[in-house]
Every structure is written in C-alpha cells, then in structure tokens.
Chain A
Amino acid sequence: MSVAQEAVRRADPVARAQRRAALARWVRPALLLVFVVVFLIPVYVLVVTSFKPLSEADPSQAWNLPKVWTTEAWSVAWEKLQPGIVNSVLLAVPGSVISAVLGSMNGYVLSKWRFPGADLVFTLFLFGMFIPYQGVMIPLVQLMVNLGDALGVQLYGGIPGLTLAHVVYGIPICTLIFRNYYVTIPDELVEASRVDGAGMLRTFRSIILPVSGPAFAVVVIWQFTSMWNDFLFAVFLTAPSSWPTTVMLNNIAGAQTVPYSQQMAAAILASIPTMVVYVLLGRFFMRGLMAGALKG
C-alpha cells in the first residue's frame, strides 16, 4: 500500500470509526479489569494473611502467599468474636423484621389510605433519614435510661435498647421503600376492595401483603446490613456484655497484642453474614441502595 493510499485510508471516516470502535472494544474491558484487581487488593491481603502462621503474619510479607497454610488464626478469632456475633444476630434478625412490618404499614397508609397532611408527614420522615445520628446520641442515652426506668426494663446498655434505636431510626428509609413500591399498585384495586366493604386492615391483608414480597426482601436486607455493620449506636448504647460484632472486632483489632492473622480472620468472620446476603440477594440489595437516592 502506497503512502498516499495509506493517507487516504487514514482519512476515511468510516475506517476511522471502525478502528476507534475496535479500540474501544478492548480498552474498556481492559480498564475495567485493572479496576477489578485494584478493588480486590484489600481482599487478597485479608484472606492470605488470615491463613498465615504467626511467624509470617507481618506487614513486610503482606503480598506473599502463606508458606504454611493454617486455620489456627481462624479458630482463635472465632472464639474471641463469637459473643459479638451472637449479639449481632439477636439484634439484626428481630430488628430487621420489626422494621419491615412497620415500614410496610406506613408505606401502605402513606400511599393508599392517605390522611390529610400525609405528604408533610412523609417529608418530615425523610429528613430523619439524613440526620447525622451524632445529633441525637447524647440525649438518646439519657432517654433510654429514663424510658427503661419508666417501663421497668433495661434499655440502656442492652440489646433491646439498641434494637429499639435501630428500628426507630430505620423508620424513614423503610417507609420510603415500601411507599415507593406500593405507589406502583393501581389505586383501583384498593378502591374496589373498599367498595366491597373491606376495611383498611382487610384490604392490606388481602390485596397489598400478597404482592409485597420484593419490598420486604429489600427492607429486611437493608436493615439487616445496616444493623450488622453499625458501630456508632453500639458504642454509645451498649455495655461490654452486649457488644455486637463491630465493637468486638474494633477492640480485637485495636489491641497491639493480637496477631495480625487473627485480626484479619476476625474481620472476615465479621463480614461473612452480610457478604452472604449480598451474594445471594444482591438484586434486592441494589434496589435498597437505589431507594436511598432515586425517589419515585
């Protein structure tokens, strides 16, 4: 091919577009793969370190694979973290179910059985989603103490109080998710049920609840994840015997005496429940994330 022909070919817009497209076909996946590697770097270090014996678990060997693989660190970490995991389960399982029930009732009323001022109530709920919880923490501790005294139960320091706090501050997001889900159910269905003489609860049970499965999944996953991962409420509201996983993990990891391999194994153990939920039900997890951002 002569130089002139080559120049013509280069100038040819169609060929240029094709070359570009071919380039884009390779460049995009290549860049994405680079980012995958970058994103997985911390995971690699966590996993390999957790399987190392004490002699190898040192930052200077962070990038090496274990010369000797051992699960010794895992069993020690499990022993240390286990009470926290039990507490977290006792918190997150009932807590997320209660949140979903409340959210579903609120969402139903605010979308299908509205009262005057329902929009204002909804907007005031929404602000509750964005408040930094630091802003209520100091009086919350006081309120928990007083409320516990008044009711004759121990709220401050224990799991019930922590669950109560998570459920209450979860109301806004749970209501939002259910409301946005119920808005898509045709009003005519609810109207028809009304005309047939069904009351609010009856309509809720027979028309709304049977189709609420996906919204329940989204809310339960969302609340479970945030209760499991929370640290702020836990450090303010719980005593050592009720510490959930995050607080225990932070104490294990903060201690200079705990070997790195055990810290890393504990960090992985603490993340397994939410990771399992994410892998199995990622679709619903995504929807929860989006609900926080995109209204309607």
Chain B
Amino acid sequence: MRRVRRWLPGLLLVSPSIVAIAVFVYGLLGWNFKVAMSDRHDEISEGSFVGLENFTGIWDQERWGISVRHAIVFTVVFVGGALVLGWFLAFLMEKGIRGEGGFRAIYLFPMAISFIATGVVWRWLMNSGTGEQAVGLNSLFSHLGLDFLQWQWFRDPDWGMAAMAVPAIWQMSGYVMALFLAGFRGVPDELRESARVDGCGEWQVYRYIVLPMLRPVTLSALIILGHISLKVFDLIVAVSGKQIITDVPAVFMWTAVFDSHDPAKGATIAAYIVLSVAVFVIPYLVWNARKGNRS
C-alpha cells in the first residue's frame, strides 16, 4: 500500500495525457480504420461493414495508381537528395570552419518557414516556360549558359514529382546537415588519430572509422525524412493545388473528403498513408526502445 501511494500521484498527474493520447491517437486511428472498412460513401449514411473492399477497390482507380507512383518518385528524390546534400554540407563543415554559425543559420532557416509560404515563391521559380518563354529558374539557367538544364519542372508529365522534391530538399537539407554535423562531432578525435598512426590515409579513416559511426544518425534522418515525405501535403497544395499532375495520396484524401464527400474513400487513403509510415517507424521505435533498455 505504501508503494502504491508512492507512485499513484505520478500516474494521476500524467493520466489526462494518457487519456488524451489513448482517445485522440489510438482511438481515432481505430475509428478511421472502421470508416475505411465501411460503405459510408456519403456524409449522411451510417455505413455498414464491408471488410477490405475499399482497400482493394481503390487500386482500380487510375488516380490512386498515379498518386502512389508520384509519392514514390517524390520520396526517392526528396529523401535521397536531402540526405546527400545534408551530408555533403556537414562534410564540408565538420572540421570547423570560420563563420560556421553563420553558415548553419542560413542552411537551417528554411526549416522555420511553412511550406505554404515557400510554395508561393517556388511555384514562381519553377515556371514551366522554356526557350523564348523562359522565366524563373529556367531563365536563370539561360543567363548562365546552362540552357540544357531548362525543363518543365513539376509540369513534366513523367518526372514532375522530382521537381516537386526540390523545394522540399531546400527546406530539409539544413536539418539533415545539423544531424550529420552532430554525428561527425561525436566521433572521438583519438579514434581518428590512432587510425592515422596505424597508417590509414584520410579517405580510409573516413571510410572505416567515421562512416560506420554515422549509421545511427543516417537512420534517424531516413526515418524523419521518410515520414515527412509519405504524408507530404502542404507543399503540393501550395505549389500546384489539386492538379492531377502532382497528385499524392494526402491531396487525394483531401479531395475525397471535401470535394467528393466520400468519408470511406478518404479514410481508406488515410489508412494507407498510416500503414506506409508504420511499417518502418514501428520497427525503428522498438529497436530504439531495446537499445535504450540495454544501455
């Protein structure tokens, strides 16, 4: 009894949050799956259970296939691009450089701004006009004599989504840089020094000492970028609105709810977004918790 009295106040203090998370996160996720497994295709009907019908049926819709393909292209380009650029910036700075604070501040500031605000200018910069009609970045390329770089950006029918990743990379690579920089700084100098004494060249030190120690940071960055990417919404809305040419699941869901007034369809898309994130976040959290317990 005395032991219970010891921890009970703590539990009471946290209980509002526990209830809130239980209801708003887990309860609503479950509710969403329930709607997704019903035939509630308008806002009036109650809807009855139809199993996984919506989950399989949605693949027959051309728009769903397009938006999934777009999400994949976007994710690959965005995650890859932000990871490489962020790593490269950190690599350039890792040994300390004059004005480091200033560089960091400039690479990181896009993080503090909303995609909606930056979308305004990126939509302008990524104007699709080429040649005589070139404006925005395309005209900058032509001024610099790099005409071959001109393309239609997000209006390109095949690889438009790769262009959509450009503002996202701009926004997030500073963050990745900060992560990697912390990772680089976490490698003890003695370790590098002893490898050099053992006759390793700089490249070998990097390859065999530094890179392996960056693995946990890389994993964190991958998880964070990946989960931002799979649910990307604001950026797409700000740059191109609801156009099919840049459709992604989150935008499709939005139109399913507000334009087609089809909760079951919206919930199905939402469920797919959750699942796509959960398949890699859950193992990551479990792995992290185990690691935490061991240490």
Contacts and interface: CB of A to CB of B under 8 A. Distances in A.
B121 A264 contact: yes
B269 to A, nearest CB: 8
A217 interface: no
A231 B28 contact: no
Contacts of B114: 228-231, 246, 270-271, 274
B119 A253 contact: yes
Interface of A: 28-29, 31-32, 35-36, 39-42, 45-46, 49, 59-60, 62-63, 102, 105-106, 108-110, 113-116, 118-119, 121, 123-128, 130-140, 142-143, 165, 168-169, 171-172, 175, 199-201, 225, 228-232, 235-236, 246, 249-250, 253-254, 260, 263-264, 266-268, 270-271, 274-275, 277-279, 282, 285-286, 289-290, 292-296
Contact of B220 (A102, A137, A293): A293
Contacts of A134: 231, 233, 250, 253, 269-270, 273-274
B13 interface: yes
Contact of A42 (B10, B14, B95, B118): B118
B289 interface: yes
A232 B9 CA distance: 36
A136 B32 contact: yes
Given A28-B93, A231-B114, 16 more contacts: A29-B98, A114-B7, A115-B8, A125-B17, A134-B231, A134-B253, A135-B271, A138-B266, A201-B9, A231-B234, A249-B120, A267-B121, A271-B113, A278-B109, A289-B178, A294-B179
A113 B282 contact: no
Grouping DSSP codes into helix (H, G, I), strand (E, B) and loop, the B interface class, with mixed when no group exceeds half, is helix
Nearest to B228: A132
A169 B125 contact: no
Contacts of A264: 120-121
Interface in B174-200: 174-175, 178-179, 182
Contacts, number: 259
A81 to B, nearest CB: 11
14 contacts: A42-B125, A59-B135, A63-B140, A63-B143, A121-B14, A121-B18, A132-B277, A136-B32, A137-B253, A143-B31, A165-B24, A249-B117, A275-B112, A275-B113
A291 B107 CA distance: 19
Contacts of A229: 113-116
Contacts of B178: 286, 289-290
Contacts of B68: none
Contact of B170 (A39, A49, A128, A136): A39
A286 B100 CA distance: 14
B52 to A, nearest CB: 17
A126 B287 CA distance: 13
Contacts of B253: 134, 137
Contacts of B117: 246, 249, 267-268, 270-271
B77 interface: no
Nearest to A109: B10
Interface string B261-272: 001001101110
B1 interface: no
Contacts of A225: 112
Contacts of B127: 59
B67 interface: no
| Most chain B CB neighbours (cut-off 10 Å) among A40, A128, A136, A260 | A136
A62 B273 contact: no
A109 B270 contact: no
B170 to A, nearest CB: 7
Contacts of B245: none
Interface string B85-101: 00001001101011100
Contact of A32 (B89, B110, B269): B89
Given A134-B273, A267-B121, A296 B292 contact: yes
Given A134-B270, A278-B109, A289-B175, A250 B136 contact: no
A39 B85 CA distance: 12
A21 to B, nearest CB: 10
A282 to B, nearest CB: 6
A138 B273 CA distance: 13
A232 to B, nearest CB: 6
A200 B139 CA distance: 65
B20 A168 contact: yes
Contacts of B14: 105-106, 109-110, 115, 121
Nearest to A108: B13
B4 to A, nearest CB: 9
A113 B29 CA distance: 30
A139 B289 contact: no
A250 B116 CA distance: 6
A134 B255 CA distance: 12
